[in-house]
Amino acid sequence: MLDNRCTSTSICAVSSSTRKASFVRARSVAITLGMTLALAFLALAASSPAKADEDGAALFKTNCVVCHGADGTGTPTGKSLKAPDLHSDAVQKMTDAQIAAQIVNGKNNMPPFPSLKPEQVKALVAYVRTFKKK
């Protein structure tokens, strides 16, 4: 029995070269798309820490400066309320989870901030870590 898929050599050659060109083009598009997505992911990942620092600083300025001061050492109001110096070993030895819990729940004279989203609390914790003594 004869194979009737290609009755003419020229038609088969064209059909084969067309399929090969389509495959090469599709592979090129897939590679280009994959590389574009990988680069976009890397750019996003690289900008995330900077964004978190900016968010943490902005949140700190909005919610914490009144007591802790811009430099983290405490304002007269904060000192009267016994707000700790954020540079202190006592604060910097706390775990991230402990600092986060204190932000969300408050402690002693510090009011709670339960309306902050988890990513905002994480940004604030990261910002508090920037006060670590060097």
Q: pLDDT per residue over 84-110, tens digit each?
A: 999 999 999 999 999 999 999 999 999
Q: Exposed (0-12), middle (13-18) or buried (19+): which is 64, by Cβ within 10 Å?
A: buried
- What are residue 107's DSSP bridge partners? 110
pTM greater than 0.85 (yes/no) = no
Q: pLDDT per residue over 1-34, tens digit each?
A: 555 565 555 555 556 667 777 777 877 777 776 6
Pairs from 45-54 (Cβ < 8 Å, separation ≥ 24): 52/122, 52/123, 52/126, 53/123, 53/126, 53/127, 53/130
Domains and CATH numbers, the chain: 9-129 (1.10.760.10)
For the chain, the C-alpha Rg in angstroms (whole number) is: 30
